[in-house]
Amino acid sequence: MSVPAPPATTGGGGATTSPLLRLLGGFIAELRRSGLPVSLTEHLDAMEAVRHVPLDDREAFKFALAATLVKHHAHWRAFETVFEVYFSLRGAEYEPDGDAWADDVDPAELLDPRGDERGAGDPLSDDDLARLLFAALLRGDQAQLRAVAWRAVQRYAGMEPGRPVGGTYYLYRTLRNLGLDDLLERLLETIREQAGRPLTPLEERLERDEIESRIDQLRKDVEAEIRRRLVADRGTEAMARTLRKPLPEDVEFMHATREEMESLRKAIHPLTRKLAARLSRRRRHSSRGVLDFRRTIRQSLSYGGVPAEPRFRYKRPSKPEIMVVADISGSVAAFARFTLHLVYAISNHFSKVRSFVFIDGLDEVTNLFETSEDITEAVHRVNTSADVVWVDGHSDYGHAFGVFWERYGQSVGPKTTVLILGDARNNYHASGSWIMRELHRKARRVFWLNPEPRSYWDTGDSIMSEYSTHCDGAFEVRTLRHLERFVEKTF
């Protein structure tokens, strides 16, 4: 997307070409490239807003930009990343403060932390640094943690200018050298000793959460420090490009990293709430139907036979019965999980929801959802307790459909909507597409949701079109956004 040049400011001391505004223009362009819908008005607002905050106050500056540019909470992370890249070198906390080092650490070990340049003789040994880290975590000393992070990156990351390695590599190296793995347990051990008595489970849990959040803070500090150095090395634009990540609603189910999965899981909850509200609102409002002749005449009696107040028949909301048949083999499991989650979250719009999962065998999991109040947990239990492997645990749609038809075929009726979730990659087994034809004949509607991009359909062992001819619709559902759109359009 091409980006308009930053428009001339509204007054502001003739600052049309001021470096700040140019920087801001680049910043906003980068936001747009990350997928944030920033309009021209908002651009202008941002420029107006930064005139009112002191520029040396980084936090205030950040919030001024956020308030004018980010109008959706899910976009906050993307904003924060871009902000870090564009405005990181300008923070006062770039260099660790000399006072940040704790008083109870032997000053002889420390000297002036800023005194030594990179590579110069470092007065701290690895053990010292580890001890400092330990003490900082134990007391939750933010400033000292930041100082440790700064030092650790300098020492362990091994960053060289111009080296074409991603930030995650440096992060990994630094964290590994700090030995975070057993740190949690060691810290807990110390706390237990300090308490001088066994901790109750509750206390133990609270301490654990506290320490975890501190370690998390350390990780963020290290990350920020690495990013700062990378920006200094490579320049803002290149760095922004490498850090650009899709927004949660645009993350593809099939290629999500662990971290993205986490963000997806967080995003699904508000999404379902929103969808449910929207669906029920539509139910209530799209209700005007045809004229109800009998009631109009009855009403007209009170006007002396003049049909002054027409009455209408209200449409009865259709409450379909839903049958979800989901492939939960490795590659598409995440997609199935999210879809099941969503369907159950809006299940009060359906008269009945039954769900089936398969790989090469098929099992009904409806009762898992009905006995558990918590959808997340039910979805989790699907993975552990459903009996879905028949021979070798590779998807076999033909066989799974066969089992479905044989066992549950008679419960498919004219009110049933069947949703089939899967990539239609059948490992060259028999397709069993006649079952789809029969289903299509018996059921009200049959939809197929495929998490693969449409261009991949029918490549390799995918036999999508063989199935989709027997569906009322086959949809590409790669992201939460697609899923949301499908549900809203269909129900």
Partner 1 sequence: MTHRFAAVGAVRDGLDSVQYLADEGIAGVVYLADRLAKPVLVEGPAGTGKTQLAKSVAEMCGARLIRLQCYEGIDESKALYEWNYKKQLLRIQTESQTWDDVSDDIFAEEFLLTRPLLEAIRATEPVVLLIDEVDRVEVETEALLLEILSDYQVSIPELGTVEATQIPLVFLTSNNTRELSEALKRRCLYLYIDYPDIDREREIVLTKVPDIAESLADEVARIVRSVRQLELKKPPSVSETLDWARTLVLLGIEHVDAEVAAETVHTLLKYRSDIERALKEFSTDEARRPGLPR
Give the interface with partner 1 as residue ranges (CB under 8 A): 37, 39, 41-42, 45, 48-49, 52-53, 57, 59-60, 63-64, 66-68, 70-73, 76, 180-181, 184, 200-202, 204-206, 209-210, 212-213, 215-216, 219, 270, 273-274, 277-278, 281, 285, 373-374, 376
Q: CB 264 → partner 1: shortest distance, Å?
A: 14
- Half-sphere CA count of 320, side-chain side, radius 13 A: 19
92 with 59: CB under 8 angstroms?
no
Residue of 107, 101, 95 whose CA lies nearest to 132: 101
Q: Which is nearer to partner 1, 71 or 241 (CB)?
A: 71
Q: CB 45 → partner 1: shortest distance, Å?
A: 7
The residue to which tokens 């362009």 are assigned: 29
Burial track 135-150 (b if 16+ CB lie within 10 A, e otherwise): ebbeeebeebbbbbbb
Q: CB 214 → partner 1: shortest distance, Å?
A: 10
Q: Which is nearer to partner 1, 24 or 64 (CB)?
A: 64
DSSP β-ladder status, 321-327 and 288-291? unpaired
Q: Which two tokens stand for residue 285?
A: 């409002």
Q: CB 257 → partner 1: shortest distance, Å?
A: 12
Name 485's Cβ contacts closer than 8 Å, sequence gap at least 6: none
- Half-sphere CA count of 1, side-chain side, radius 13 A: 14
Q: CB 444 → partner 1: shortest distance, Å?
A: 28
The CA distances from residue 316 to 283, 321, 444, in Å, are 9, 15, 17
Q: Could you tell me the maximum CA-CA distance found in the chain, to the nearest angstrom?
A: 104
Q: CB 273 → partner 1: shortest distance, Å?
A: 7
Q: Which is nearer to partner 1, 381 or 445 (CB)?
A: 381
Q: Which is nearer to partner 1, 381 or 442 (CB)?
A: 381
Q: CB 3 → partner 1: shortest distance, Å?
A: 18
Q: Tell me how crowded residue 370 is: count the other CB atoms within 10 A of its CB.
A: 14
Q: Which is nearer to partner 1, 15 or 111 (CB)?
A: 15
Instruction: Report how far residue 398's alpha carbon sits from residue 432's, in angstroms, rounded to the nearest whole number.
Output: 4
Q: Which is nearer to partner 1, 281 or 441 (CB)?
A: 281
Q: Which is nearer to partner 1, 212 or 237 (CB)?
A: 212
Q: CB 485 → partner 1: shortest distance, Å?
A: 13
Q: Tell me how crowded residue 489 is: count the other CB atoms within 10 A of its CB.
A: 9
Q: Which is nearer to partner 1, 239 or 334 (CB)?
A: 334
Q: Which is nearer to partner 1, 144 or 426 (CB)?
A: 144
Instruction: Report how far residue 171's alpha carbon sits from residue 157's, in angstroms, rounded to the nearest whole number.
Output: 7
Q: CB 195 → partner 1: shortest distance, Å?
A: 13
List beta partners, residue 343: none
Q: At what angle do helices 40-50 and 58-69 cross, to 10 degrees?
A: 160
198 with 189: CB under 8 angstroms?
no
**CA torsion 476→480→484→485, rounded to 10°?**
-40
The residue to which tokens 């690895």 are assigned: 126
353 with 299: CB under 8 angstroms?
no
Instruction: Report how far residue 364's alpha carbon sits from residue 385's, in angstroms, rounded to the nearest whole number.
Output: 11
Q: CB 179 → partner 1: shortest distance, Å?
A: 11
Q: Which is nearer to partner 1, 178 or 436 (CB)?
A: 178
Q: CB 304 → partner 1: shortest distance, Å?
A: 24
Q: Which is nearer to partner 1, 27 or 405 (CB)?
A: 27
43 with 91: CB under 8 angstroms?
no
Q: CB 110 → partner 1: shortest distance, Å?
A: 27
Name 303's Cβ contacts closer than 8 Å, sequence gap at least 6: 309
Q: Which is nearer to partner 1, 126 or 210 (CB)?
A: 210
Instruction: Report how far residue 115's alpha carbon sits from residue 401's, in angstroms, rounded to the nearest whole number.
Output: 71
